[in-house]
Structure 1
Amino acid sequence: MSDALRPMARPRLYEQVIDRLREYVAQARLGAGDKLPAERDLAQQLGVSRTSVKQAIVVLQVQGLVEARHGGGTYLVGHTLDAEPVEQLVERRQRLPDVLDAREAVETKLAELAAQRRTKVDLDAISAALDHMREEIAAGSYGVEGDRRFHAAVTAAARSDILAEFMNSIAERITESRTESLRQPGRPSRSLTQHVAILDAISLGDGRRAATAMRRHLRTVAKVRLLSWNPDDEDDGRRDEDDGGAGGDARE
């Protein structure tokens, strides 16, 4: 059967909520640090349940567009709510575990080899990458380029053509995992600290310690909200008319 005739996806209600929130942020000219209306108020004004609003907020959190402070509301991280289509998130969520498994298996060995084979030039390159990442973070960004340079420098120091070729073959997927990880709250500075530990072990020529430090780092990389998000856990209903207009429903 032609792929063009595949079953049509039913729009999720929380995706519609995201669209409305994006319009609201633009019209109200909200920016980074501004607070969104309370979930209860949003549910009431949009005519949906609080469950649908919560699901929309979770999707925005997964993408690093908002920060939900416990007991303190939801705040914009940037100046827009230009969310990635949910279907793209679903696809990345499906392939991310395999990418993370591959990274742990290969990069742990690369770190071990780098400790055994590194030269002063290699150590300088790794250190320079950390300096770049440090500068990026200080400037308010995630440190993505510095992170890329760090792992590339470790790969180069390992002097394994086959492993380097494999890393290059999944470079696009690695970029996805890198960005996904670094946009987690507090992750850039934590990643930088772990990178320093990896460099210290490589500098000492301690392959086992370098492998352990890299494994610890990559298991932190794997802790992303996207993997705990369930795109099918949605609420189909509009706001329950018996909730007294509070924006909740019997299932909340």
Structure 2
Amino acid sequence: MSAPDEIRPAAPDGPRRLRRSPRLYEQVVQQLLAWAHASGLGVGGRLPPERDLAARLGVSRATLAQALVALEVTGVVSVRHGDGTVLLAAPRTEAVLAALRARRDDLGDVIEARQALEVRLAALAARRRTEEDLAEIDAALSAMADDVRRGGRGVTGDERFHAAVTAAGHSPLLARLMAEIADLVRESRIESLSQEGRPVRSLAGHRAIAEAIRAGDAPAAAAAMTAHIELVSDVPLLTDDEG
């Protein structure tokens, strides 16, 4: 297999940029789709447990997990906690790889947009939040914590938290801009929260943001949101593959 991508150094205040070259998990995506076809696995079929599938494909579980997340965000599979991985579609391998490479190009821009919009919204939320806004932020934190405690990734609670912070900023224009990138943000959210240990760390970041908003401390809210976005931006599409 080819060597992992090289990553150009990041600008101090911008997202990491990528060179175009094949990723190990993209090769595993090809293997996985070929295996599903050869095995006669149709739409609605369930894939074997990750440990077994990694052994069949001859790859590490870490790289297989990256490939499955890539297929999840492109709508090919559904990964459900406690229910396994289900095939939702059986597209041509070339189409899936093209979609993944397009995402690699888009992801840096999505992160940059989040840095511009959500950091500002967190600061505004600290100045403008109402008791109702704080109640919704707390409810989102509770929902995410409950899901993570049960072994889930907390995707829905994470999404609800960021929506609550956006609403608390009381900026209709910034809210509309966030809505424009909502689908892309959700894809990167799934990628981030699929990494081991990430849901717990993300939840801690949310709590730091919420505390600053509750305290009315705009600079602290902006700093906490900046740190949180830097954390969740560390996803496999922007890092070297693991063997």
Q: TM-score, normalised by structure 1?
A: 0.66
Larger Rg: 1
Query: 1: CA distance between counterparts of 2:144 and 2:31?
Result: 36
Aligned positions of 1:1-252 closer than 5 A: 16-22=30-36, 31-32=48-49, 34-36=51-53, 58=63, 60-64=65-69, 79-80=84-85, 82=87, 85-228=96-239
* CA RMSD, 1 decimal: 3.4
Query: 2: CA distance between counterparts of 1:170 and 1:16?
Result: 28
Query: 2: CA distance between counterparts of 1:60 and 1:81?
Result: 14
Percent of aligned positions that are identical = 43
Unaligned runs of 5+ in 2: 1-25, 71-81
Provide the secondary structure at the position in 1 that maps to 2:202.
helix
Structure 2 residue identity aligned to 1:207: A
Structure 2 residue identity aligned to 1:17: Q
Q: Check conservation: 2:47, 2:86, Cα contact below 8 A.
A: no
Query: 1: CA distance between counterparts of 2:155 and 2:69?
Result: 14
Q: Check conservation: 1:32, 1:78, Cα contact below 8 A.
A: no
Structure 1 residue 63: deviation in Å?
3.4
Structure 1 residue 177: deviation in Å?
1.7
The structure-2 alpha-carbon separation of the partners of 1:38 and 1:170, relative to structure 1 and needing over 3 Å to count, comes to closer
Which digits, 9 at most, give the CA deviation of each residue in 1:60-99, with x for residues without a partner? Answer: 524348xxxxxxxxxxx97348598222211111101001
Q: Check conservation: 2:54, 2:64, Cα contact below 8 A.
A: no
Aligned length, in residue pairs = 197
Structure 1 residue 185: deviation in Å?
1.8
Query: 2: CA distance between counterparts of 1:159 and 1:15?
Result: 42
Q: TM-score, normalised by structure 2?
A: 0.69
Provide the secondary structure at the position in 1 that maps to 2:151.
coil
Structure 1 residue identity aligned to 2:32: I
Tell which has more relative contact order, 1 or 2 (C-alpha 8 A, sep 6+).
1
Q: Check conservation: 2:155, 2:189, Cα contact below 8 A.
A: yes
Query: 2: CA distance between counterparts of 1:36 and 1:158?
Result: 45
The structure-2 alpha-carbon separation of the partners of 1:116 and 1:37, relative to structure 1 and needing over 3 Å to count, comes to closer
Query: 2: CA distance between counterparts of 1:161 and 1:36?
Result: 47
